Structure 1
Amino acid sequence: MASDAPLPSSFDGDEDFYSEDRLGKLTRRLREEPLIPLGCALTVWALVGATRSIRRGDHAKTNIMFRRRIYAQGFTLVAMLAGSMYWQKDREKRKEFEGVVAERQRVEKREKWLRELEARDEDEKAFKAMMERRRNAEKEGSNIKKVIGEAKDDVGKRLGESTRQDARAAGQVEQSSVMEKEKEEKGVLQAVKDLIGWK
């Protein structure tokens, strides 16, 4: 894996070298190789002169201007080759630096992607834990309902047994009057309230 530190360069103290826009790059290149724009200007001057001499019908002047155009183009090519040879080391350093920056950006992008995946995984785990807690709470709620139902059934059975025992002891189930039944029901209700703990 590549180191995070950039490779050493003779441009380490020059921030403009690393952070330049297109216009800055163009002006820097014009300052580094001023002969190329001069050769381009001479070529254009020769072509304009040839065009004017063609319109006037001066064939001798036209041939001279076309020869000058060829010389200007040759001069421009020689200036380009000489400039590229002279600035080759600096351009290699720039390419090297750009490669290191691209590698660092790739590593940062990968790490950011991994962090995002980890965050999504944590969110998913938290969601699953929340759903599990909700299921457990629902199970506990159904268990509580089941216990309450069993308690109600148990209370009903006990009430039924106590009512039968009371009726046998009295021996007056068939002969009791309406008033006695009301008293008996009040007694049963009181017994139920006492069992449940109702005040």
Structure 2
Amino acid sequence: MSGDNPLPSSFDGDTDFYSESPTQKLLRRLKQEPLVPLGCLATVAALIGASRAMRVNDHARANIMFRRRIYAQGFTLFALVVGSAYWSRDREARKEVEGAEKERVARERREKWLQELEARDEEDKAERARRRARREERGGTGVVEAVERAVEGKAAQLEEKGDEKKGGIMDSVKGLWGGK
């Protein structure tokens, strides 16, 4: 697989194969391995026959039905193993597609998250600019304005450095009074 293509390299153009509902999956599996449900039905029929024979006290018939149940279960198990071996390539392609779909969803989620962060950053910068403009209109020389400028200056320094250990607002305020 390469790039943004969520389909496997063995993609044959059958998009229904790669996007199906649970009902469609059940029907596909019944068509692929019809002997498994047939074996299950034979097992259930043998159990029903054995229970009826036991109710009428026909032990010979019950034993025959129990043997048929064992044969039906063996047949079902054989059908499962053979079908599993036969359809293994199909399952590998399906797993590949599901993995690619999960990667695509994770990539989209990450991109949305980054866009949200960028939007919040832009809003924050715009708010800072509005505050700065209001301060300049008032000729702001108060203590609050001095602290805000110091905090913004410290934040700008940390952004320029790209420092991993960015200080918080309290660290910036402590820096104004000579603290560490």
Shorter-chain TM-score range: 0.7 to 0.9
Say whether residues 1:34 and 2:40 are aligned partners: no
Distance 2:19 2:97 in 1: 12
Gaps of 5+ in 1: 141-199
Structure of higher RCO (CA pairs closer than 8 Å, 6+ residues apart) = 2
Pairing 1:1-199 to 2, within 5 Å after superposition: 3-6=3-6, 7-10=8-11, 12-139=12-139
Alpha-carbon distance, 1:66 to partner: 0.4
User: Structure 2: which amino acid aligns with 1:113?
Assistant: W
Q: Distance in 1 between matches of 2:83 and 2:119?
A: 52
Partner SS, residue 110 of structure 1: helix
Letter matched to residue 8 of structure 1: S
Q: Distance in 2 between matches of 1:125 and 1:94?
A: 46
Letter in 2 for 1:133: A
For residues 45 and 16 of structure 1, the distance between their equivalents in structure 2, rounded to whole angstroms, comes to 35
Q: Deviations over 1:97-152 (max 9, x none)?
A: 11111111111111111111000000010011011111111118xxxxxxxxxxxx
User: SS in structure 2 opposite 1:131?
Assistant: helix
Stretches of structure 2 that go unaligned for 5 or more consecutive residues are 141-180
Q: Size of the alignment, in residue pairs?
A: 138
TM-score normalised according to structure 2 size:
0.74
Counterpart residue number, 1:158: none
Question: What residue number does 2:150 align with?
Answer: none
Select the structure of larger CA radius of gyration.
Answer: 1
How big is the alpha-carbon RMSD for the aligned residues of Structure 1 and Structure 2?
Answer: 1.2
User: Aligned partners of 1:51 and 1:32: how far apart in 2?
Assistant: 32
The structure carrying a bigger helix percent of its residues is 1
Secondary structure in 2 matching 1:57: coil
Give, in whole Å, the separation in 2 of the partners of 1:134 and 1:9: 62
